[in-house]
Structure 1
Amino acid sequence: MSEHVATLGQLLDGAGTQWRAFDIGRHITKLDKKQFLTIEQAQTPYPYPLGGHAWLAIQFWDSKASKEPYVWFLKFPLDEQSKLVSASRDHFANMVIEALGTEITGEQADGKLDNNPYVFTPNANKLAAFNAQLKVLLKQPASQYYEHAQLYFSGKIGFDNWQSVALQGIADFALRLDNDANLSNLQKAWAHLPLEVLQPLSAMLEHVEIPTSLSELLLAYGQAAIENNDTIALTAALRSLSKGQAQGLSTQLVDAALSSSLGNDSDVLLTIAGRCFVQLEDPERLHIFMDNCAQHQEIAELFPSVFADLVAIPTIRPHLLGLLRKENRSETLARAIGRLFS
């Protein structure tokens, strides 16, 4: 491997590894290698920026060894056009070469990058979901907690006995809905799940392209939550639906939420911005959404923080900038936009 490495892909290829890249900022989404190369070369913006950064998981393994794969969780800054700041990536690559040389796998690599400024540890939910997804991709068995989670969701040990269900078990279950009777059991169990299970479960399902039948159930559940003024149930439904195969059903729930009494609720608005952002690629829906953010009274920073978050997403940016010039805006929205530049 040469001393000068232009991209992370070259670094990994030069070390003789097989590798995959994922975005794990919003949803856990596998990045195509060609797409990843254009991102690394700053030819295209990062598709899913969060907080001005690219949040990546790079999974790699020595093609000659059969050991468990390694994972780097990396956070790189993006510029104002959401393109990768190449100097940071170069700095990381140089630190890797300095610390590990060409041997980036094996025992000698363990712990060598712990204090690297670009390395981060995902939160417990994200880590559990990523571990579960990797095991599915690698066709490996689920964790030791999976069978107990299956038992729980089948209703056989009682839905109130959730304390014994491990977070990793919930993640494994959510990522294996096409195994055994998992999907049908979940559909029967959903209405009986306590909050202590519902919230971590929705944090797993937001990474899953759930089938249409489950999306239909979640849409009805979310609509009932709106009628009952239940923010927690609504945000769980929005999160769980957000990556589903039937995006039209997710759109229906977003629209219902935005036109309801919960449409100005900060948790609902932040869930839509963070997880249902695909729905905000529609200029009219984006207008309604930003107007709702402007109407929100309790958190002064809500509107500017949501604006900054969404304007960084390449598919939303032109529509949001278009909203700045739009004439038929409410007075509240016009004032909120004005404050961004004051």
Structure 2
Amino acid sequence: MQALNTLGEFFERSGAEVALYHMGRRVAPCPPETLAGFERGEQPWPEPWQGQARIAALFRIGDMAEPAVWFLALPLDELGLLSPASRDGFLNRLVETLGRNVATLGQDETAQVEHFMQDNPLAFTPSLSFQAMLNARATADQSLPASQHFEPVEAYLSGQQSIDWQALGLQGVADFAVRSDAAAQDALARLIDEERFDAEVIRALCLCFEHCAPSDALVTALIDRGERAARTGDVETLCACVRGVGASLQDAVGAWYQSLLEDTAACGPDLLAAIAGRGWTLLEDATRLPLFLMRLAERPEANFADVVRDIALIPRLRLLVLMTLRDAPEGGSVHARLANIAPRH
């Protein structure tokens, strides 16, 4: 097998049927052209996480009975572009391991292809919620049935059946988040408004809906639930709700984030991390971003430098972050934090 220059070349030359998914800030389909442009050095990674481009590659070669799954964390440079050395090492090892038989891999080699990722420096293990969401996304995208957990979760969340919540699996919640329509989500919102679910259920819902765009009614219900959690000091549920609505494009979410950032009592490190991690698109705002950075700088226990570097790698935020830092008023908390950040070498 000839040398490989990109991951895209491997999938193309092997004749693989491949589906790519973002696995960094949230689980979402990743168009092949996004990976291609990134590997050519033409564009930064759109959704970086902790200095990496995290992707899942689900692919089938030849007559593999089941698709193989690779979870890859590709290192990024300071501009969010690919640092190619690790990727090139991965490809060289791939050629050495699979050799000339890559195009004829069959059913018996599925394990071999997946075994290749063991002890691989680019491999990572996603959290359970990310694994559940990937399975839910992939099966829905391929028009395959949902998991066996979907129907009992759907019955429970629609109020049709009273089931012990502990007996329901997170995979079923993920399937519901991906497959439910607006009507089903609106019905769920009404039950949330009636306080039919305890905090544990709300947090599980938000773990999955943070990867989707909930219906308008569900967004409103989760915001209201988050506000009730804030009033009772339930920071965990408040942060879950903040993450759970982060993928929504509703103006109400931006307004809620704004009100939380304006409340000094609410702006602990966990809340700021929830906004940066799942609601980063809402920071693309000339008022909200400076306020977020100020609150972050005011919390001595928050790692200001790491959070700023993380969000500055997001292409749509990079320029706004740099301009906001540049214009930080002297004597303010952001300016003081910047003075204490040692340059990276």
Aligned residue type for 1:90: D
Instruction: Write the deviation string for residues 2-57 of structure 1: whole angstroms up to 9, x where unpaired.
Output: 41112111100100112122211111122222222110111111111111111111
* C-alpha distance in structure 1 between counterparts of 2:172 and 2:265, whole Å: 32
Map of 1:45-194 to 2, 5 A cutoff?
45-62=44-61, 65=63, 67-101=65-99, 102=102, 103=104, 106-110=107-111, 111-158=115-162, 161-178=164-181, 182-190=184-192, 191-194=195-198
- Other structure's SS at 2:44 match: coil
8 Å Cα contact 2:22/2:30 also seen in 1: yes
* Distance change (3 Å), C-alpha of 1:288 and 1:329: farther
Instruction: Give the RMSD, CA atoms, in angstroms.
Output: 2.2
- Which residue matches 2:335? 334
* C-alpha distance in structure 2 between counterparts of 1:306 and 1:109, whole Å: 39
* C-alpha distance in structure 2 between counterparts of 1:330 and 1:243, whole Å: 35
* C-alpha distance in structure 2 between counterparts of 1:99 and 1:182, whole Å: 48
Answer yes or no: is 1:295 the counterpart of 2:298: yes
* Distance change (3 Å), C-alpha of 1:10 and 1:235: same
8 Å Cα contact 2:64/2:109 also seen in 1: no
* C-alpha distance in structure 2 between counterparts of 1:225 and 1:14, whole Å: 53
* Distance change (3 Å), C-alpha of 1:279 and 1:116: same
Q: CA deviation at 1:219?
A: 3.0
Aligned residue type for 1:4: A
* C-alpha distance in structure 2 between counterparts of 1:314 and 1:234, whole Å: 28
TM-score (norm 2): 0.89
8 Å Cα contact 1:263/1:269 also seen in 2: no
* Distance change (3 Å), C-alpha of 1:329 and 1:27: farther
* C-alpha distance in structure 1 between counterparts of 2:206 and 2:328, whole Å: 38
* C-alpha distance in structure 1 between counterparts of 2:328 and 2:132, whole Å: 46
Aligned residue type for 1:337: L
* Distance change (3 Å), C-alpha of 1:168 and 1:105: farther
- Which residue matches 1:232? 236
> Identity over the aligned pairs, expressed in percent?
30
- Other structure's SS at 2:315 match: coil
Q: CA deviation at 1:261?
A: 4.1
* C-alpha distance in structure 2 between counterparts of 1:76 and 1:327, whole Å: 32
Answer yes or no: is 1:304 the counterpart of 2:305: yes
* C-alpha distance in structure 2 between counterparts of 1:131 and 1:261, whole Å: 39
For structure 1, list consecutive stretches of 5 or more residues without a partner in the other structure: none
Instruction: Write the deviation string for residues 284-330 of structure 1: whole angstroms up to 9, x where unpaired.
Output: 21110010011114x1x422221121122222122222123215366
Q: CA deviation at 1:263?
A: 3.8
Deviates more, 1:22-31 or 1:111-120: 111-120
Q: CA deviation at 1:229?
A: 4.5
* Distance change (3 Å), C-alpha of 1:331 and 1:113: closer
8 Å Cα contact 2:186/2:215 also seen in 1: no
* C-alpha distance in structure 1 between counterparts of 2:105 and 2:202, whole Å: 39
Q: CA deviation at 1:231?
A: 2.2
* C-alpha distance in structure 1 between counterparts of 2:233 and 2:117, whole Å: 47
